[in-house]
Amino acid sequence: MTTTLTRLRVPGAFLLGAVLLLGVAPLALSDFRLSLFAKYLCYAIVAVGVSLAWGRGGLMVLGQGVFFGLGGYAMAMHLKLTDAAATGEKLPDFMQLYGTSDALPWWWEPFANPFFALAMTVLLPMVVAGVLGFFIFRRRVKGAYFAILSQALAAALSIWLIGQQATTGGTNGLTDIQGFFGYSLDDPVNQRMVYFIIAAVLLLLMALARQLFVSRYGELLVAVRDSEERVRFLGYDPANVKLVAYVVAAGMAGLAGALFVPAVGIISPALIGIVPSIGFVIGAAVGGRASLVGAVLGAIAVAWAQSTLSDAFPAAWTYLQGLLFVLAVGFLPGGLASLWFVLRRRRTRPTPVIRTEEPVAVTVGETA
């Protein structure tokens, strides 16, 4: 009886999530609220990857804005080109304003092809993460250094984009996107369609991440997080294990960025720089980065709080956001999800397992 229940727990929770996202939310929310919710779900997609890379892999990915941005810009470039083509123009509107040339930059041209652009929204972030990760993990850059490096990359990309106004739209970014593969985004019906796509992608990626979590790879990833040296002595190269998580998380962030563009109608450097990159992990940290559901719910909750509170108290929000991050990382590393597990364990197992020894700090090698 209990085994059947445990076996049905995960598919049951998944089904419940699907009903809430695809059934209840579209019925209960107004068009305006639903499009806001679609934006939160994009952040939740990023959080799925954060949960894998940071929660399970211990990689403090503080630069997911880079991958979110690459995916977002790849999508927005395609949509800007189709918008321009629909009105008979050769160049997107901002290039006519700021551009110095009549010709489309060569690296824009392939994005006119929808299949190329769609593939790039995921592949470009994954390839960039693959190359970066290859060098970062092989050089054994980790911990705070990895986090700082990630932040620097996010800053670098947004600064570069700002400097290239003629070809990237600069500070403004790529704005005023009208159509989505032939459908007008002004039409609420199409906005709902975009919402359904985003919700479906979120559910799919959660299923994918869940499979990774319970697979042998997932167990190995936790082992690498907790004791990288030990894993090396078992004959694995931890750099490769981390690389997989980093690349998958980057692909998810790229897809989230791509879906963000039709949902919100804009992608800009301000959405992918240092501050938003921290924002991408706060939800996961508060909700519980090692727990998939915790990270997703945390991301949605923090995004909702941001929209609500930053309207009411624009100055206070930044501080609150920083405070949340510090509190979650410093005092509740497992996030709110860990409280849930603690409560459940108390209920089911009244006698906690007694440690016979004080936990010893694991210091491997490094003989002085």
Partner 1 sequence: MSGEVLKGEGLTVRDLRVTFDGFTAVDGVDLDIRPGDLRFLIGPNGAGKTTLVDAVTGLVKATGSVRFGGDELLGKPVHRIARLGIGRTFQTATVFEELTVLQNLDIAAGAGRGPLTMLRRRTGVPESVTKALETTGLTELRDRPAGVLAHGQKQWLEIGMLLVQDVQLLLLDEPVAGMSHEEREATGELLQRVSAERTVVVIEHDMDFMRSFARSVSVLHAGKVLSEGTVAEVQADAKVQEVYLGRVSEPEPAAVPVAEEA
Site residues (vs partner 1, CB under 8 A): 211-212, 214-217, 219-220, 222-223, 226-227, 229-237, 353, 355-357, 359-365, 367-368
In angstroms, what is the minimal distance from the CB of 243 to partner 1?
13
Find, among 302, 267, 292, the residue nearest to 205 by Cα: 292
Pick 61 or 231: Cβ nearer partner 1: 231
Nearer to partner 1 by Cβ, of 314 and 365: the residue is 365
Q: Closest distance between partner 1 and the C-beta of residue 60, in Å?
A: 18
Q: What is the CA radius of gyration of the chain?
A: 22
Q: Minimum distance between the CB of residue 367 and partner 1, rounded to whole angstroms?
A: 5
The nearest distance, CB 120 to partner 1, in angstroms, is: 24
Nearer to partner 1, 9 or 33 (CB): 9
Q: How many CA atoms lie within 13 A of 332 on its CB side?
A: 22
CA atoms within 13 Å, Cβ hemisphere of 312: 7
CB atoms within 10 A of CB 289: 30
Least distance from partner 1 to the Cβ atom of residue 205, Å: 15
CB of 2 or CB of 367, closer to partner 1: 367
- Report the alpha-carbon distance of residue 6 to residue 10 in Å, rounded: 8
Q: What would the DSSP string read from start to end of 233-289?
A: HTT--HHHHHHHHHHHHHHHHHHHHHHHHHHHS-B-GGGTSHHHHHHHHHHHHHH-T
How far from 234 is each of 56, 239, 364, CA to CA, in Å? 19, 14, 13
Instruction: Decide whether 180 or 213 has the Cβ nearer to partner 1.
Output: 213
Closest contact distance (angstroms) between CB of 245 and partner 1 is 12
In the bound state with partner 1, the residue whose beta carbon lies nearer, of 223 and 320, is: 223
Q: 180 by DSSP, 3-state: which?
A: strand
d(CA 29, CA 116): 34
| Closest distance to partner 1 from the beta carbon of 28 (Å) | 36
Longest dimension (CA), the chain: 76
CB of 222 to partner 1, least distance (A): 6
Residue with Cβ nearer partner 1 (1 or 362):
362
Q: How far is the CB of 366 from partner 1 (least distance, A)?
A: 8
Burial of 193 (0-12, 13-18, 19+ CB in 10 A): middle
Nearer to partner 1, 6 or 367 (CB): 367
Question: What is the sign, positive or negative, of the torsion defined by CA atoms of 32, 170, 132, 115?
Answer: positive
Buried b (16+ CB within 10 A) or exposed e, 340-361: eeeeeeeeeeeeeeeeeeeeee
Nearer to partner 1, 250 or 264 (CB): 250
